[in-house]
Structure 1
Amino acid sequence: MAKYESPQISRIFAALADPTRRHVLQRLADHPGQSVSDLAHPLSLKLPGLMKHLDVLSDAGLITRTKTGRTVTVHLAAAPMRDAVEWLEHYERFWTTSLDRLATFVESAPE
């Protein structure tokens, strides 16, 4: 359980907590290798605002950026999300047990 106390997993959850950053990750999953300008367009964000979000995602290890000439291309790096999924799976038994009890209660209730 010690790996769940790492600063990295805290950065991952902090990055995923913001809806704009989740939207960026979803866009990159659906359309890999987008430019910063392409990512900013549907979000109604100015480039400096988007760059701050990209910095958070980069610090969490969730994206990589490459520069070719004047164009910065952003790529999804989903592997660090595995730590977050493992952390959540560790606690899955608590809500699974609760749902099982609810199902049993509903099934045994008189009609």
Structure 2
Amino acid sequence: MSESNQSRDIFDAIADPTRRKLIQLLAEAEEIPLHELTVQFQMGRTAVSKHLTILKEAGLVLDRKVGRETRFRLNASPLREVQDWVAFYNRFWSANMVRLGQLLEEEEE
């Protein structure tokens, strides 16, 4: 984990499809209250809150109280670790595809 306030692995946090959907919803809005997030899923408020807690532990979600309401927003900076990991494998596969192309060209000659 790259940030000291993270207590959960970023890859563990994004492994669940519900949490990836939460990240998407938060990315599309500046800030969303819990009740608006909950209506997007076929699960209760408690279940959605548990998923948000996991995202918060990974540093992906920030929250703030506004009266009795809790609002959530995305902190995308921890996703840089995922982007870097994927970029490495993108370069790996690109290089292998170039080599494969060269081998196929050599076989045709």
Equivalent residue letter for 1:59: E
C-alpha displacement of 1:104: 4.5
Distance in 2 between residues matched to 1:30 and 1:105, nearest whole Å: 44
Instruction: Mark the CA change 1:106 to 1:50 in structure 2 (over 3 Å): closer, same or farther.
Output: farther
For 1:99 and 1:32, the matched residues in 2 are separated by 40
How far the C-alpha of 1:84 sits from its partner, in A, is 2.0
- The match for 1:17 is 15
Which amino acid in the other structure matches residue 85 of structure 2?
Answer: W
Q: How many residues align?
A: 106
> How big is the shift at 1:100?
2.3
Post-superposition offset of 1:10:
6.3
Structure 2 partner of 1:76: 74
Runs of 4+ in 1 over 4 A off after TM superposition: 102-110
Query: Displacement of 1:78 after TM fit?
Result: 0.2
1:50 aligns with 2:43: no
TM-score under structure 1 normalisation?
0.79
Instruction: Name the TM-score, length of structure 2 as normaliser.
Output: 0.80
Identical pairs, percent: 35
CA contact (8 A) 1:15 1:60 kept: yes
Structure having the higher helix fraction is 1
Q: Which runs of 5+ in 1 are unaligned?
A: none
Q: For the structure 1 residues 30 and 105, does the alpha-carbon distance in structure 2 shift closer, same or farther, using more than 3 Å as the test?
A: farther
